[in-house]
């Protein structure tokens, strides 16, 4: 790896004008040390910084780049659409095409509304659940992150957790008084919460495969349990599939685990790399939204043709072979990483679901936030820095997911494994 002098210089300037030098906290590299690099361009599975260094990228713009960067078909769709106007604030045909694609892929979604980010999608889905049920309380889970929504920034994952502020300042306690926070994968806690709040819980919201405190999986039967208890208690089940939608399967985690939620939040992949969000679900719930019903939600750029065009191009390229390919690459990375860790004598839990993965530096299985917190974060930081020096970019936080794209090749995975084997050797075995 060469010098990053130009990135360092630009970051010093950025620090004078942007809080932390960035527009989203984890990017500042504070959890891993050093300065972030500035990207000059990216193509396929690779990124190049402004100093000319090349990286194999497993951040994949935090999930959206399932086809890799600058896929020609997505670039063409954006260019052709932009030439006709970028936003009209009045209906455009691409919104309908996109809505059909989403409803076809997700049988639980009969109607969908597009917005501009995953945060907006989750905020609006919670409002809709409250409006539909006439109840106030929401159950969320420790380590799950649903964007920076006031009432959901309680024991949250992602940047909030990375910087030790899972409960953000600036949120009056009254805003979160209706949020009940429970450990993930713990059925007894959910039963007790419903018993103590009979008739008051509007919804349970979760990432069905949490990907904002690293990655951990639901225990067998856990999602089915949540489906049954919410149905019995008259609460809605909201799956935040901003990360997992169209990634774990075309129909997301709900297809993979065969559970139908009442509402689903989407983002990331459905925008093909442009800002987008969506929430959708059963017709009678969605029809509570304005202008059909009393729950208000709106947005100047919602459904804008650029995001729709990029999203359509992205979704049209996803088929069964995509997911088989991602599984092959993921499994190669997983088995190689485990073997490298075993050889180096470093205790690692490599959690993976399809093309989402996370390596935790602990000898104990990771199934919830408490387990994830046992990972040795100082060791993660050293591992991150060694990987970066070897030209492999993983998320600069223990509490984020890694993503594989269809643009990654076996050779990329093998180069990554060689870098990981070297990095793990330097970490020491204790």
Please, what is the minimum distance in Å from the beta carbon of residue 53 to ligand HOZ?
20
Q: Tell me, residue by residue from 349 to 388, as one string, x for binding to ligand HOZ by CB under 6 A and - for no binding.
A: ----------------------------------------
Q: Measure the CA–CA gap between 383 and 388, rounded to whole angstroms.
A: 9
Residue 427 CA: distances (Å) to CA of 32, 211, 251, 378, 380? 15, 25, 39, 10, 9
Q: Which stretch binds ligand HOZ (CB under 6 A): 21-29, 90-98, 191-199, 346-354?
A: 21-29
Residue 194 near residue 381 (C-beta atoms within 8 A): no
Known catalytic residue at 296 = no
Residue 108 near residue 260 (C-beta atoms within 8 A): yes
Q: Is 241 in the site for ligand HOZ (CB under 6 A)?
A: no
Residue closer to ligand HOZ, measured from CB, 145 or 222 = 145
Known catalytic residue at 240 = yes
Q: Count Cα neighbours of 170 within 13 Å in the Cβ-side half-sphere.
A: 8
Please, what is the minimum distance in Å from the beta carbon of residue 159 to ligand HOZ?
5
Number of residues that bind ligand HOZ (CB under 6 A): 8
Among residues 24, 43, 79, 409, which is the contact residue for ligand HOZ, using CB under 6 A? Answer: 24
Among residues 108, 151, 158, 355, which is the contact residue for ligand HOZ, using CB under 6 A? Answer: 158
Q: Is 62 in the site for ligand HOZ (CB under 6 A)?
A: yes
Q: Is 11 in the site for ligand HOZ (CB under 6 A)?
A: no
Residue closer to ligand HOZ, measured from CB, 159 or 354 = 159
Residue 83 CA: distances (Å) to CA of 73, 300, 306? 16, 20, 10
Residue 151 near residue 138 (C-beta atoms within 8 A): yes
Question: Where are the extended beta strands (E) located within 46-159?
Answer: 46-49, 54-57, 111-115, 137-141
Residue closer to ligand HOZ, measured from CB, 59 or 341 = 59
Look at residues 183, 182, 243 and name the one whose alpha carbon lies nearest to residue 215.
243
Beta-carbon contacts of residue 290 (< 8 Å; ≥ 6 apart):
296, 297, 298
Known catalytic residue at 8 = no
Please, what is the minimum distance in Å from the beta carbon of residue 116 to ligand HOZ?
14
Residue 68 near residue 43 (C-beta atoms within 8 A): yes
Q: Is 210 helix (H, G, I), strand (E, B) or coil?
A: coil
Q: Is 149 in the site for ligand HOZ (CB under 6 A)?
A: no
Specify which residues 351 forms β-bridges with. 358
Which residue of the set 111, 140, 155, 268 is catalytic? 268
Residues 280-309 interacting with ligand HOZ (rule: CB under 6 A)? none
Helical ranges in 134-221 per DSSP H: 158-162, 187-196
Beta-carbon contacts of residue 20 (< 8 Å; ≥ 6 apart):
28, 30
Which residue of the set 55, 58, 132, 145 is catalytic? 145
Q: Measure the CA–CA gap between 271 and 274, rounded to whole angstroms.
A: 5
Residue closer to ligand HOZ, measured from CB, 116 or 212 = 212
Q: Is 27 in the site for ligand HOZ (CB under 6 A)?
A: yes
Helix pair 410-425, 377-389: axis angle to 10 deg: 130
Among residues 380, 400, 416, 427, which is the contact residue for ligand HOZ, using CB under 6 A? Answer: 400
Among residues 44, 143, 159, 277, which is the contact residue for ligand HOZ, using CB under 6 A? Answer: 159
Residue closer to ligand HOZ, measured from CB, 62 or 184 = 62
Among residues 133, 212, 244, 368, which is the contact residue for ligand HOZ, using CB under 6 A? Answer: 212
- Mind telling me the catalytic residues? 145, 240, 268
Q: Which residues bind ligand HOZ (CB under 6 A)?
A: 24, 26-27, 62, 158-159, 212, 400
């Amino acid at each position: 790896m060469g010098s990053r002098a130009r990135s360092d210089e630009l970051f010093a300037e950025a620090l004078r004008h942007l809080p932390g030098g960035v527009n989203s906290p984890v990017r500042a590299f504070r959890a891993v040390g050093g300065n972030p690099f500035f990207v000059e361009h990216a193509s396929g599975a690779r990124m190049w910084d402004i100093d000319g260094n090349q990286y194999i990228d497993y951040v994949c713009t935090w999930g959206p780049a399932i086809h890799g960067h600058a896929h020609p078909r997505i670039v063409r769709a954006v260019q052709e659409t932009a030439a006709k106007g970028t936003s009209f604030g009045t209906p455009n045909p691409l919104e309908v095409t996109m809505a059909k694609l989403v409803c076809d892929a997700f049988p639980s979604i009969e109607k969908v509304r597009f917005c501009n980010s995953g945060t907006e999608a989750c905020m609006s889905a919670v409002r809709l659940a409250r409006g539909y049920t006439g109840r106030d309380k929401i159950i969320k889970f420790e380590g799950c992150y649903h964007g920076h929504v006031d009432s959901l920034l309680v024991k949250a994952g992602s940047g909030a957790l990375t910087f030790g502020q899972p409960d953000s300042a600036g949120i009056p306690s009254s805003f979160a008084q209706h949020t009940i926070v429970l450990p993930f994968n713990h059925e007894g806690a959910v039963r007790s919460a419903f018993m103590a709040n009979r008739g008051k819980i509007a919804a349970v919201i979760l990432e069905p495969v949490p990907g904002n405190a690293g990655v951990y999986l639901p225990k067998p039967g856990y999602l089915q349990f949540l489906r049954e208890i919410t149905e019995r208690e008259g609460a809605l089940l909201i799956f935040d599939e901003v990360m997992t939608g169209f990634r774990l399967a075309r129909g997301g985690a709900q297809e993979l685990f065969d559970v139908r939620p009442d509402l689903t939040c989407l983002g990331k992949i459905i925008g093909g790399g442009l800002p987008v969000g969506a929430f959708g679900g059963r017709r009678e719930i969605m029809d509570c939204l304005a202008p059909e019903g009393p729950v208000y939600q709106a947005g100047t750029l919602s459904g804008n043709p650029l995001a729709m065009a990029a999203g359509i191009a992205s979704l049209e390229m996803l088929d069964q072979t995509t997911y088989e390919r991602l599984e092959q690459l993921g499994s190669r990375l997983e088995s190689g990483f485990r073997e490298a860790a075993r050889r180096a004598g470093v205790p690692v839990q490599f959690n993976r679901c399809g093309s989402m993965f996370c390596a935790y530096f602990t000898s104990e299985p990771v199934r919830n936030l408490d387990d994830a917190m046992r990972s040795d974060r100082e060791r993660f930081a050293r591992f991150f820095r060694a990987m970066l020096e070897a030209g492999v970019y993983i998320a600069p936080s223990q509490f984020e997911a890694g993503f594989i794209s269809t643009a990654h090749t076996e050779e990329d995975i093998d180069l990554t494994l060689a870098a990981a084997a070297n990095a793990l050797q330097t970490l020491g075995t204790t």
